[in-house]
Structure 1
Amino acid sequence: MKHRLPALIMALIAVQVICAIVFFVDVMRDAADLGGVGWGLLPEALASLALFVGIAFEAACLAHLLRRKASLERSVGLASSALQGVIENHFDAWKLTASERDVAALMVKGLSISEIAGVRGSAEGTVKAHLNAIYRKADARNRAEVLSHIMDTLIDRPLLSGGERPPAGTRRAVN
């Protein structure tokens, strides 16, 4: 539904434009029959004008929202690329093999051991062995600590009292 919403709104605006034109033409015909716009036609003429103004406002709002949506989608794409870069930097620092990188990437995405094994077409024991190698190289005890190392890189505040960050792959004290 959300992907069809802009088209639905544009269709609604088109119907409103048709109605406004019909309404305006009716006011003009009545004015011609009466020999001018009199006090009786003034409310209809103002309503017709207000309808056109409302249509213009709706169209401007829709255009603004569509531009904003496109901008946000670009921002999400950039953030996704940046996050991928951070993850790849950690994998490089930990000197993961190609197989370990694949398993680590799937782990970061939240897949279980059985899901990773299914995606990779390997045994669960192989995935567990890769995960143990990843934990060892990342100086982590479990998935949460691996993800914590990655997330620490994304946090824009000092993690230690002196303001310095711990080197990649090292454990930090948990209070």
Structure 2
Amino acid sequence: MKLKRVILLMVLVQALGALFFIGDIGLTILGIEREPIAWELREAVEIGAAIALLIGLVMSGVLLLQSQRRLGKAEARLQRASSDFMEVVEDSFSSWNLTPAERDVAFFVLKGFSTQEIAGFRKTSEGTVKAQTNAIYRKAGVSGRGQLMSVFIDDLLAETRDPAGADSMKA
């Protein structure tokens, strides 16, 4: 919360500095007379505005670098999770002895496609896809799509636990 306040304050100071410079230039271009201020005060305001803009530039760079690092870490975690999930899926498909056609259908089921969509992708009838999904559910020991997905989520979560059975994510 403190960082947000600092950022908000810096943006406000930068905006005021920018408005000072732009306003000064605009008034000069338009030839609008204004009450002169002491040169010391004017110099202090200009220096303050310039320093605020420079600090804002540095802070923006730091925040951008931090964001890029977080994005890179998140992408790496997502890649690991995707890889782990596919490994669990392949292991399960192998242990269930799914046929190549059943594997294709199972992947589509896991991706959330409807029976009609799967039939369209595979250029088969909906009845064939229903028969294949029933065979998949029987081999997996589940009764439907939700339970099938649950099997993979449970297996994936089990891989994050240490050998002693304690959840490594809580450590």
- The normalised TM-score by structure 2 is 0.66
CA deviations over 1:117-149 (Å, ceiling 9, x no partner): 011111111111111211121122222222222
* In structure 1, distance between residues paired with 2:109 and 2:42: 73
* In structure 1, distance between residues paired with 2:150 and 2:77: 24
* In structure 2, distance between residues paired with 1:145 and 1:38: 75
* In structure 2, distance between residues paired with 1:73 and 1:141: 34
- The normalised TM-score by structure 1 is 0.64
Deviation at residue 155 of structure 1 after TM alignment: 3.0
RMSD across aligned positions (CA): 2.4
Aligned to 2:57: 55
* Identity %, equivalent residues: 42
The one-letter code sitting in structure 1 at the alignment partner of 2:92 is H
Which residue, 119, 122, 131 being the options, matches 1:120? 122
SS in 1 for 2:149: helix
Structure number with higher helix proportion: 2
Deviation at residue 40 of structure 1 after TM alignment: 3.8
The reply on whether 1:64 has 2:66 as its aligned counterpart is yes
The one-letter code sitting in structure 1 at the alignment partner of 2:110 is V
* In structure 1, distance between residues paired with 2:51 and 2:80: 44
- Any stretches of 5+ residues in structure 2 without a counterpart? 1-13, 25-38, 160-164, 166-171
Aligned to 2:104: 102
Change (3 A) 1:39 1:151: closer
Paired residues of 2:137 and 2:143 also in contact (CA < 8 A) = yes
The one-letter code sitting in structure 2 at the alignment partner of 1:57 is M
SS in 2 for 1:87: helix
* In structure 1, distance between residues paired with 2:52 and 2:143: 67
Aligned length: 127
Which residue, 74, 80, 83 being the options, matches 1:81? 83
1:96-175 matches, within 5 Å, as 96-156=98-158
SS in 2 for 1:155: helix
The one-letter code sitting in structure 1 at the alignment partner of 2:143 is R
CA deviations over 1:64-110 (Å, ceiling 9, x no partner): 11221122112111111111111111111101010000000100111
- Any stretches of 5+ residues in structure 1 without a counterpart? 1-15, 27-36, 158-162, 164-175
CA deviations over 1:13-67 (Å, ceiling 9, x no partner): xxx9xx98xx6xx9xxxxxxxxxx8454122112211211111111111121122
Change (3 A) 1:148 1:40: closer
Aligned to 2:33: none
Aligned to 1:43: 45
Paired residues of 2:109 and 2:145 also in contact (CA < 8 A) = yes
